[in-house]
């Protein structure tokens, strides 16, 4: 199976490895998986839409497309209003269905954050932006993976959100293991 992973730093970060940490964790779970990762740290939904051709539409066709956006849109120091964020996600979705059947697209919510360390994001905001993503996924009949809720249910956000940056957002091994478990299960449902 070939997948295209794209979105923001949560998908892009290497966390000390030679490849994105999510790529590494997914390949441990699904050894035959081929991954093209075009994620860009710091990108928001508007900038992603502006670069959609480069990041998705002109990339070699894959079996499945996975997108995680919203992490930067909801940050209070550079916040994209929720209504505009949802419009951006709808524009992105309407464009990607030209290349990918809806049942082969997975939208992932932004992650939960450790609010003791993260001062420009909080879990109430993450939940609001996650709901907008879920509504778009439902509207376009995409798969939806609620990473935020899974992290909250797992508990111990201090450990899950602890990565090299240790900023309460960019997670390390434990967070990526959880994310890869969830995404691996979702990809196997599509196969």
Compute CA distances 88 → 46, 55, 82, 98, 117, whole Å.
6, 15, 10, 16, 29
Q: What top-level class would CATH report for the domain 2-190?
A: alpha beta
Q: Residue 132: what pLDDT?
A: 99
Q: Residue 88: what pLDDT?
A: 99
List the domain boundaries for the chain.
2-190
Long-range contacts of 54-61 (CB under 8 A, 24+ apart): 55/6, 56/4, 56/6, 56/95, 56/96, 56/99, 57/95, 57/96, 57/98, 57/99, 59/4, 60/2, 60/36, 61/99
**pLDDT per residue over 143-172, tens digit each?**
999 999 999 999 999 999 999 999 999 999
Q: Residue 21: what pLDDT?
A: 98
Q: Residue 91: what pLDDT?
A: 99
Below-70 pLDDT ranges, the chain: none
Q: Residue 69: what pLDDT?
A: 99
Q: Residue 191: what pLDDT?
A: 73
Q: Residue 106: what pLDDT?
A: 99
């Amino acid at each position: 199976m070939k997948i295209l992973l794209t979105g923001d730093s949560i998908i892009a970060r290497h966390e000390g490895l030679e490849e994105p940490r999510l790529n590494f964790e997914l390949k441990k779970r699904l050894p035959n998986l081929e991954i093209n990762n075009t994620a860009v740290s710091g990108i928001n939904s508007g900038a992603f839409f502006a670069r959609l051709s480069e990041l998705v539409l002109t990339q070699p066709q894959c079996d499945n497309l996975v997108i995680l956006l919203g992490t930067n849109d909801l940050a209070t120091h550079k916040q994209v209003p929720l209504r505009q964020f949802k419009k951006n996600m709808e524009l992105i979705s309407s464009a990607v269905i030209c290349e990918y059947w809806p049942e082969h697209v997975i939208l992932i919510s932004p992650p939960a954050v450790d609010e003791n360390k993260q001062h420009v994001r909080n879990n109430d905001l993450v939940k609001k932006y996650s709901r907008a993503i879920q509504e778009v996924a439902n509207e376009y009949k995409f798969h939806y993976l609620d990473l935020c809720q899974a992290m909250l249910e797992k508990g111990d956000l201090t450990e899950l959100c602890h990565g090299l940056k240790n900023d309460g957002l960019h997670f390390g091994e434990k967070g990526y293991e959880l994310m890869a478990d969830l995404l691996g299960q979702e990809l196997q449902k599509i196969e």
